[in-house]
Amino acid sequence: MTGPLANQTALVTGAASGIGAALSRELAAQGAHVILTDRQDELGADVLAAITSAGGSGEYHSLDVTDLDAWQQLAADVLARHDGLDYLFNNAGIGVGGEVKKMSAEDWQQIVDVNIHGVINGVQAFYPGMVARRSGHIINTASAAGLGPTPLSVAYCATKHAVVGLSTSLRAEASTEGVKVSVLCPGVIRTPILDGGKYGRIVGFDAQKLVDMWEIARPMDVDK
């Protein structure tokens, strides 16, 4: 497919649903070859099928972003077949919402592993290759929750503040290496993360009540 991103390769984590799926569809529509990754393999295959049926180019790989070894294996494969990666969208994330007083150590560990280490692992796997080529763009999905206080989403808010800090700091450092870094801070978007998503959850608080509170903020359609 022709377009402004023709002959460019983009990798998107969390590509099976929500913002990741919308990003993947739009990247393909702009002409990029899109490498979709997720743990929701059936949904990921459906997104890829929609892309290819529309004339786009892509491939799907199952990836747990908390697994650095899996990241490195994927990076070796991508770099061997595509001679580098032009765009890395570190988008995968989960929500663990509710009251902190009722959260367990395991709740904290899971959201930190996915939302922070998942981004770090992507950087570890692909940033050195971008530096070597003096080319590439890393785009990390944070949140408006990474810019201000968000009660009942304290753990999520903490991880997204970390993604903002990682991104803005790496942006300054990477500017001397020919690599671009951006951070996305969306507001309330209508995605599965509103109710925790497949791998997240709401702890110690009525899930429907929390979703109703989010509805007051009028979630934006993900394709916008």
User: Phi/psi class of residue 134: alpha, beta or left (left: φ > 0; alpha: ψ in -120 to 50)?
Assistant: left
SS3 at position 183: strand
- How far is it, in rounded angstroms, from Cα 188 to Cα 214? 7
- How far is it, in rounded angstroms, from Cα 153 to Cα 222? 20
Other C-beta atoms lying within 10 Å of the C-beta of residue 110: 18
- How far is it, in rounded angstroms, from Cα 94 to Cα 161? 14
Active site residue 156: yes
Catalytic residue among 87, 127, 156, 199: 156
- How far is it, in rounded angstroms, from Cα 95 to Cα 100? 13
- How far is it, in rounded angstroms, from Cα 185 to Cα 206? 26
Residues serving a catalytic function are: 156
